Amino acid sequence: MNGKHNFFMRRAIELAGQGMNLHAGGPFGAVIVKDGEIIAEGFNQVTSTNDPTAHAEVIAIREACKKLGSFQLDDCVIYTSCEPCPMCLGAIYWARPQKVFFACNREDAAQIDFDDRFIYNELAVDMKNRRIEFVELLREEAIPVFQEWKNRDDVKKY
């Protein structure tokens, strides 16, 4: 079974190099596998698309979900060339794959100036003390929309 894992990880690493060589973004690649076959893949496209969310994992998740017609990656495995950043980690948890394999770790990424430590640190800081100012506004007007969602029986819960 290790041979298959290695095959899929090598493809993720290949995609990282491909995206880098196309000047699409940072050196990151990802593939999503279901039933032993690649159903989606992606490489980082942040700088080429001016989209800070265009990370390899997010692109692959979007493609896989579209292909599966689902917002969840049931019975899927993600192979990514680097330990996911906090944003990708969140997307992965929301997508609910079975497992994630990664090659490089966050320390390796920090060595090439992709250091996400400040985001991990910000998550632990009280919102009023974060680097970017967050201001609660019109909560009382927004709560009724949440209540309507909670009370509806015609929505797809997730």
Residues with a catalytic annotation lie at: 57
Other Cβ atoms less than 10 A from the Cβ of 77: the count is: 19
Reduce the DSSP state of residue 137 to 3 states and report it: coil
At 32, give phi and psi (nearest 5°): -120, 130
Cα end-to-end span (Å), the chain: 32
Label the pairing between strands 29-34 and 76-82: antiparallel
Q: List CB contacts of 118: < 8 A, sequence separation 6 or more.
A: 131
